[in-house]
Chains A and B, each alone.
Chain A
Amino acid sequence: MPVSETRTLPEARVPSVRRRPVLEALAQTARDPWTIVSVLVLLGFVAMAVFASWFAGDPQAIDPANRLKAAGVVGIWGTDHLGRDVFSRAMYGARMSLVVGLSVAFLTAVPGVAIGVFAGMSRFGGAVVMRLIDAMMAIPAVLLAIALAALLQPGLLTVIIAIAIPEIPRMVRLVRSVVLSVRQQPFVDAAVSVGTRGPKLIFRHILPNTVAPVIVQATYAAASAIIASAILSFLGVGTPPDVPSWGGMMADARKFFQFYPMLMVYPGVLLSLLVLVTNVLGDRLSDALDPRKVRKRG
Chain B
Amino acid sequence: MKKSVYICFLIVPVVIVLCTLILPLVLQIIPTFTRPAIGLGNYIRFFQDDLNRSIFLRSVRLSVITTLLCILVGVPTAYYLSMQSEKRRRLLNSLILFPLLTNAVIRSFAWISILSKQGFLNQLLKLLHLPQGTFLYTDGAIVVGSVYLFLPIMINTLSPIMENIGTETVEAAHSLGARPVRVFFEIILPLSFSGVLIAGVMVFGGAISAYTTPSMLGGNKKMMLSTLLYQQSGTLANWDAASLISVIMLVCSLGVMKLFNSLAKRIDKREAGNV
Q: Please say whether chains A and B are actual partners in one complex.
A: no
Write the residues of chain B forming the contact surface with A, with a CB cutoff of 8 angstroms: none
Write the residues of chain A forming the contact surface with B, with a CB cutoff of 8 angstroms: none
